[in-house]
Structure 1
Amino acid sequence: MSDKILARLQQIQGHALKIQAAMQSQPSPSEGRGSDPNGCVAVVVDPDGLPSRIEVWTGWQRHVAAEELGSLVLRLYREVAAQAVRAWSASFDLDAWRSRAEAAGAGEQEDAGLPPIAQAQAFGNPRDLLTLTEEALKALKVTRDQAAAPPVTATGWDGERAVSITLTPGGLHGCTINPRWALRHGASALNAALREALRQARAAMDEHAAHRKAQAQGLDDLARQALATLVRFQDLNTSPEES
């Protein structure tokens, strides 16, 4: 492998880090809050787009049928989440991001002459080539299987299994409320059931997110080790005339 190829890999890595920094400099999505026009339900959406609180207000029976309460929660969530996305989009400084991205590209051109062998440690620690290849193939298989798998969902229930909340990484996917149970209990009991169901669903999604984060970090580490191994291989195979 030539020094030019290794240098290009190093430039791509540095460029990606600069683009990531430019994205992180933009404002993060903010929390969203809203309620339906009749004041029956209120929803809070966190910056990740997941519901953090769902509350039913006293007197909801006068405005919505018990059979439609779960659907009302879902519709309200979608409205609040969409409003939060629109607010974040309006605050996104596209010109500033474009300037940072262009600056990152200019920096990549300036670094084009850097010798990669001298900066091998920036990639990571070299590994045994056969072991590294085996781990890379396993990681590729996991990634392929995940792409073919159905979307991840997490459902939480209250203790009486009268209320359920279903989440996906994209947000609230479903809300069911047993109408007979809801009519027999007050808003306080209904809100307690919603909190428990939401807590369980979010805990399952947090566990999944932590697992995916660990996998992503493992892939990143593997890529760095692969680059370091290539650099080391190049260094070992450089003849005295070339050094």
Structure 2
Amino acid sequence: MTAMDGDMLARLQQLQAKVTQFGELATQLAQAVPKQAEGCDASGWVRVVLGGDGLPTAISVRDGWDRRIEAAGLGAAVMDANADAIRQGMKAFSDQLDDNRWWTKRAHAEEDGPDPSAGPVARPPAGTERDPGELTEDVLKALHTVQQPAETAPGAVEGSDPQRYVTVALGPGGLARCTIDPDWAARRDSNAITAALTEALRAARHAVPPPTAPSADLDGLLGDALATLRAITDRRPAGGNNS
């Protein structure tokens, strides 16, 4: 292996180490997203629970709500509780990143050197020597795949209880709208309203299409590329002169 070949391999390994480091940061970022967040409206009588996807998993109304909230304002109270749940979730998310020193690790990753506290740099992925032409073709296909945008998020989808007294709309940003018939709600207790909200929410969540996004095994291809490069350089004469 010539000095140039060794330098090229070292640079590829450094690149892989940097990719691995940013991948670990992305993983830690995803893991910091709270699995659940709860919020209440200003009265404290309406409660919304959000899942890790940002969509409500439960909406409930406490007994005595009508002493604090007008029936015509019940839907708005649900939206206020949802906004509070978002705030609580963002605070938990930020606190988790602070506890894990994520911001410091990101700053180190953006510099030339790795974060000293992050432990040893991960080894490049294992790979298999392949025909360079086929490998290049697969790499180009993978790059084309990851450059394709994910399918555009759909607009809001709605769900209602069987009698359509309550309607919940879910959009890409979470709960988009909640309407509750005030005349109906004024004659119902908290259990009946919560049950209708639960049915409407279940129907809306069922209508949300599953997310789709292109994927490609870039890590595996990088491992194959490194293995192929090692094989090519190892087969060259020590002096590096093929003539």
TM-score range, shorter chain: 0.5 to 0.7
SS of the equivalent of 1:191 reads: helix
**Would you say 1:122 and 2:126 are equivalent positions?**
yes
**Would you say 1:69 and 2:74 are equivalent positions?**
yes
Q: TM-score, normalised by structure 2?
A: 0.67
**Would you say 1:134 and 2:141 are equivalent positions?**
yes
| Corresponding position of 2:237 | 241
Of 115, 118, 129 in structure 2, the residue corresponding to residue 105 of structure 1 is 115
Cα 1:92/1:130, change in 2 over 3 Å: closer
* Coordinate RMSD, CA, aligned: 4.1
Moved more, 95-104 or 7-16: 95-104
Structure 2 unaligned regions, length at least 5:
none
Alignment-mate amino acid for residue 160 of structure 1: Q
More helix by share: 1
Cα 1:225/1:97, change in 2 over 3 Å: closer
Q: TM-score, normalised by structure 1?
A: 0.67
| Corresponding position of 1:14 | 20
Cα 1:200/1:128, change in 2 over 3 Å: farther
SS of the equivalent of 1:42 reads: strand
C-alpha contact (below 8 Å) 2:158/2:168 kept by paired residues: yes
- What are the equivalent positions in structure 2 for 1:1-243 lying under 5 Å apart? 2-20=8-26, 23=29, 28=34, 31-37=37-43, 39=45, 41-90=46-95, 92-93=97-98, 96-97=101-102, 102=108, 104-106=114-116, 121-122=125-126, 128-141=135-148, 143=149, 146=151, 149=152, 153-183=156-186, 185-205=188-208, 208-209=210-211, 211-212=212-213, 215=214, 218-219=215-216, 221=217, 223-235=218-230, 237-238=232-233, 239-241=235-237
Cα 1:131/1:107, change in 2 over 3 Å: same
C-alpha contact (below 8 Å) 1:22/1:100 kept by paired residues: no
Identical pairs, percent: 26
Cα 1:174/1:188, change in 2 over 3 Å: same
SS of the equivalent of 2:210 reads: helix
Equivalenced residue count is: 224
Cα 1:13/1:52, change in 2 over 3 Å: same
Structure 1 unaligned regions, length at least 5:
none
C-alpha contact (below 8 Å) 1:30/1:88 kept by paired residues: no
SS of the equivalent of 1:176 reads: strand
**CA drift at 1:10:** 1.5
**CA drift at 1:74:** 0.4
Aligned counterparts of 1:53 and 1:204: Cα–Cα separation in 2: 16
